[in-house]
Structure 1
Amino acid sequence: MPQNSAVPSFAEMLAACHVSAVHLEMRDAYGIAAEAAEFEAWKAGDDGSRYDRTGRRRAWLDLVRETVGRGVVMRRARIVSEPVSEYIKYEHAGTPLNIEAGESVRWLPRRRASDIALPGNDFWLFDERLVRFNHFTGDGASGGPEVTDDPAVARLCTSAFETVWQRATPHADFKV
């Protein structure tokens, strides 16, 4: 699939995945509209929504369970600045649900990533061959996805992710 062609939905891309789906996140804050109220409530001391398996996150958790259930390995790595931002603390607080659903999650302090060749954007990599870049605006809102099956780009993303994964700390051992 060439760059800039019609982008399939994320769920469609995950459904077509057979072996692995890995996600690399590199921002210290995101401004995703769908989670704004939850993030504000969390900052005010209400973290109940971060553990709600039936609310806003249910569709994602169901998708992860279904994907892992058919044998796809799902891993997520986050490169973060230290001390971590409030948003990263919020993400960390909600990560146990991702793990419960079947994702493996690790964290890498940005200082330990200085010598890794990284793509310029967060991405999902499906079966080490198809890359979905997630573009963001300066304030962290979604800037839309871009998909490529360029083998050189897939190799870069595979190398970057695997290097980060090897250096990163498993979620259970990463303290914020």
Structure 2
Amino acid sequence: MRSAQRSAHHLEMRDAYDLDADYREWSEGNLFDPSERWPWWIELVSSTVARGVAVQRARIVSEPLSSYTRYEYELTGGHNVKAGEDVRWLPRRQSSDLALPGNDFWLFDGVTVLFNHFAGDGTMTGEELVTDQSVVGLCSSAFSAVWERAIPHQEYRPA
């Protein structure tokens, strides 16, 4: 992210990630300000956007939303959007005809892909940096197709 020059595109396709302490606290009804929990992310994204880099996040989600995705949805405005990310949501049923890679990823400047690998329980198991142009092309076209169909965060109303 710190070395991106033009764009940082993130595609998320899971209905749940690591059910960490923050998620558990939220699920118990203890609301918190995400910018106070993760100030490092606010700083990273806002400084990246200030350099002129477009930071875009697209989430493919099942509806009705899983509890974890509801958590993400409720925190997005005060966390991702506040930091300067442009976030969109695509109901999974609207993505059936799209060619998508098997893993979530970050695409930086249209030349480098960082895949995020997860275990079945949502625990992150590793990352993989790829510059092979056929893989980069797949991820670029997948992100573009999702982005074109996805609903901006401010307009998205979960089913």
TM-score norm. by structure 2 comes to 0.96
- Of residues 160, 165, 175, the one that matches 2:142 is 160
Contact 2:6/2:54 (<8 A) preserved: yes
Shift of 1:54: 2.6
1:105 alignment counterpart: 87
| Alignment partner of 1:170 is 2:152 | yes
Q: Percent identity?
A: 52
Q: TM-score, normalised by structure 1?
A: 0.87
Structure 2 residue ranges without an equivalent (≥5): none
Q: Does 1:80 align with 2:61?
A: yes
1:83 and 1:52 mapped to 2: Cα distance?
Answer: 23
Structure 2 matches for 1:9-158, cutoff 5 A? 14-31=1-18, 36-48=20-32, 51-55=33-37, 57-96=38-77, 97-158=79-140
Pairwise CA distance, 1:52: 3.6
1:100, CA displacement in angstroms? 1.4
Letter in 2 for 1:95: T
Matched residue pairs, number? 157
> Is the 2:41–2:83 Cα contact (8 Å) retained in structure 1?
no
Task: Give the unaligned 5+ runs of structure 1.
Answer: 1-13
For each residue in 1:92-135, what CA deviation from the matched residue of structure 2 results, as whole angstroms up to 9, or x when unmatched?
Answer: 01101211111000000000000000000000000001000000
- Provide the aligned C-alpha RMSD in A: 0.9
**Amino acid corresponding to residue 30 of structure 1 in structure 2:** Y
